[in-house]
Amino acid sequence: MLQSLLNVGAASRIYIFDAERRSIVDTEPGTPIGTEYFRLAPHAREIRLAFDGVPGDATVFRGLDDQWYKSAFAPVKEGDRVVAVVGVEAGVTFFDTLRVIRRNLVLFGVIAAVLMMAASLLLAVGFERPIARLVQSAQRLAEGDLVTRIESTSHDEIGFLAEALDDARSRIVERDRNLKMLQRGIAHEVRNPLGGMRLFAIFSARSWPTNPKKRPTWRKSAGRCSSSNAW
């Protein structure tokens, strides 16, 4: 009868024992009647309650086959008197489910770590190339290359930095242009007074009838103005 119950349900073992924990009947092959169940010592509290007429279950334990099991105990009564206790052991399958979940979590963690490393590598390469181009542009700018534009290829902080460098290049070009215009203006203003002085010296050398000795002096002054004006 116990064997038929064992085949119908999910139990792995059914056994009945007396108050001294000696086997009366057991579905485990090779367990003779009268065998003392020393392995029930951890369940002494539950067994005592069962002999008091209160059914209960024990904590989960690992069997010799490395599987998880849970035991339950119920009183066997003859009238109002408890004469024995029936014990049932059943495999706890949810631990297998937890083991599968744990394995899957570890696998997903490894895959996630690999994906994060790959994404970090791609981001690093994506940042390195624009920064390298900016460094090259800054080096050209430091060497005096004010013609090559600094192109902005993105709309992020790196693109903003490229635009700022190109704006600085444009301002330097504009400053140089203004300096050159200022130099030309200064040179023009310097040449105009020298030209007037030269004409005055030539006119004085030609129209100084009273003192012919002064004419070489005026001609010499006119020559100096001409040489300065040629600058």
Q: How far apart (Å, rounded) are the C-alpha atoms in residues 168 and 174?
A: 10
Q: How many domains does the chain have?
A: 2
What pLDDT sits at residue 231? 40
Range of the domain at 161: 93-192
Residue 135 has pLDDT above 70, yes or no: yes
> How far are the Cα atoms of 131, 136, 142, 157, 171 from residue 160, in angstroms, in the given order?
12, 16, 19, 5, 17
Residues 170, 97 share a domain: yes
Residues 35, 22 share a domain: yes
Return the CATH number at 182: 1.10.8.500
Share of the chain above pLDDT 90, in %: 16
- Decide if 76 contacts 82 (C-beta within 8 A): yes
Six-digit token string for 204: 């004085």
Flag whether 208 is in a domain. Answer: no
Residues 43, 83 share a domain: yes
> Does residue 23 sit in helix, strand or coil?
strand
Write the pLDDT tens digit of every residue in 9-56. Answer: 566 788 999 999 999 988 888 889 999 998 888 889 999 999 999 998
Residues 78, 51 share a domain: yes
Residues 85, 117 share a domain: no
Residues 122, 82 share a domain: no
Q: How far apart (Å, rounded) are the C-alpha atoms in residues 53 and 196?
A: 135
Mean pLDDT lowest for which of 95-109, 157-171, 215-229? 215-229
Dump strand ranges (E) for 36-170: 56-57, 61-62, 68-78, 81-91
Flag whether 202 is in a domain. Answer: no
- 3-class SS shares of the chain: helix, strand, coil, % to 5: 60, 15, 25
Residues 80, 6 share a domain: yes
What pLDDT sits at residue 119? 86
Write the pLDDT tens digit of every residue in 68-106. Answer: 778 889 999 988 899 999 998 877 665 666 678 888 889
Residues 115, 33 share a domain: no
**Which helix (H) or strand (E) covers residue 6, if one does?**
helix 2-8
**Which helix (H) or strand (E) covers residue 38, if one does?**
none
Return the higher-pLDDT residue of 95 and 210: 95
Which pLDDT band holds residue 206 (cuts at 50, 70, 90)? Answer: low
Write the pLDDT tens digit of every residue in 167-187. Answer: 888 888 888 887 787 777 666
Flag whether 197 is in a domain. Answer: no
Q: What's the rounded mean pLDDT across residues 149-171?
A: 79
SS3 track for 62-81: ECCCCCEEEEEEEEEEECCE
Flag whether 223 is in a domain. Answer: no
Question: pTM score, two decimals?
Answer: 0.40
Q: What are residue 36's phi and psi, to 5 degrees?
A: -85, 130
